[in-house]
Amino acid sequence: MPLAPLFKSGFNRKSTAEQVTEGANLTGKTILITGVSSGLGFESMRVLAQRGAHIVALDRTIETAKKACDEVPGTTTPFACDLSDPDSIITSANAISEQFSSLDVVLNNAGIMAPPLTLIHKYKEPLEIQFAVNFLGNFVLVNHLMPLLKAAPSARIVLVASGAYVTSPKKEGILFDNLDWHSGYDGLNAYGHSKLAVMLMNRELAERLEGTNITSSAIHPGLIRTKLASDTQTLKVKFISKFGGPFMRSIPQGAATQCWAATHPALEGINGEHFADCNPKAAVGHATDSALAKKLWQKATFLAEDYLPKN
């Protein structure tokens, strides 16, 4: 179900995660968050645990997940999940399924931005690491967690995308013949490429979930002061990180939209939306292409065939 065209949440780019969840009672809710050791993931865990949710806290190693959980008041359970490694994803999903009977929210927060060109060789084809982590790792994880989402009375998938999806290749959108970026690698464009894939995943997920108890949404957190691109060699990203301070948001502001999308009662049953500043934001360009979304889903299914649930 879409939101009414004139919907306004009352929040904006300066709103914080605490402000957009004020008054929320999440007692009895189980919310899975990836990338909890720092930045938006840690803030989302802190705020949603404060509101009463049991946080299933995923990070690349069990040590970093446990450390983050130890620093947050409330109920949290740590798990190791390296989104660059599908074996780790499956191990994590299996362990979660053994311990929990349902999930009310899966918040796919973890991601990487503009690293040096790195290839992942776990799938049917070599993949550039941002595509493998930001998109395909989340694709595998969500598919494995689907039974837990179906077991909840009402469940939400929140995918952290980025406005940078517009920097993906203008002509093709998704480089089906160059997913390892063997030619023309640019860290920021490859980041946008991976986030366009996330936007398309949301579009196809929403269609597949229509009429079920599960909804999907994608969010743009804004330009945030985090360590997301700490190892980048991309000059454009270094420039933005150095001089973009006046335009950047704090971490509490950056976590607002994903916490709002994950929990706000006004979004019950709302499916397939894209949000920024805690309000709907129309997708543009390739992100509106349903045929491209289906093609990408089919490609992802092929690439990750060995790691997807057999049913």
pLDDT tens digits, residue range 49-92? 999 999 999 999 999 999 999 999 999 999 999 999 999 999 99
What does the pLDDT look like over 147-163, one tens digit per residue?
999 999 999 999 999 99
pLDDT at 237 over 90: no
Dihedral sign (CA 157, 74, 79, 221)? positive
pLDDT at 271 over 90: yes
What does the pLDDT look like over 251-263, one tens digit per residue?
999 999 999 999 9
CA proximity to 88, closest of 40, 30, 149, 133: 133
Catalytic residue among 165, 185, 191, 307: 185
pLDDT at 233 over 90: no
Residue 224 lies inside a defined structural domain of this protein: yes
**pLDDT at 68 (0 to 100):** 98
Residue 207 lies inside a defined structural domain of this protein: yes
pLDDT, mean of residues 26-30: 98
pLDDT band at 43 (very low <50, low <70, confident <90, very high): very high
pLDDT band at 243 (very low <50, low <70, confident <90, very high): very low
Residue 119 lies inside a defined structural domain of this protein: yes
165, 195 Cβ separation under 8 angstroms: yes
What is the distance between the alpha carbons of residues 252 and 298, in angstroms, rounded to a whole number?
36
**Helix (H/G/I), strand (E/B), else coil: 195:** helix
Instruction: Identify the CATH number of the domain in which residue 118 sits.
Output: 3.40.50.720
Q: How many CB atoms lie within 10 A of CB 95?
A: 14
Residue 12 lies inside a defined structural domain of this protein: no
Residue 281 lies inside a defined structural domain of this protein: yes
pLDDT band at 238 (very low <50, low <70, confident <90, very high): very low
Residue 228 lies inside a defined structural domain of this protein: yes
Does 191 participate in catalysis according to the annotation?
no
Residue 6 lies inside a defined structural domain of this protein: no
Burial class (CB in 10 A: 0-12, 13-18, 19+), 178: middle
- Of 79-83, 188-192, 301-305, 307-311, the range with the lowest mean pLDDT is 307-311
pLDDT, mean of residues 215-226: 87
Q: Structural domain tally of the chain?
A: 1
66, 37 Cβ separation under 8 angstroms: no
pTM, rounded to two decimals:
0.93
CA proximity to 60, closest of 80, 44, 46: 80
Residue 9 lies inside a defined structural domain of this protein: no
DSSP 93-121: HHHHHHH-S--SEEEE-----SPSP-EE-
**pLDDT at 2 (0 to 100):** 82
Quote the domain boundaries for residue 81: 17-306
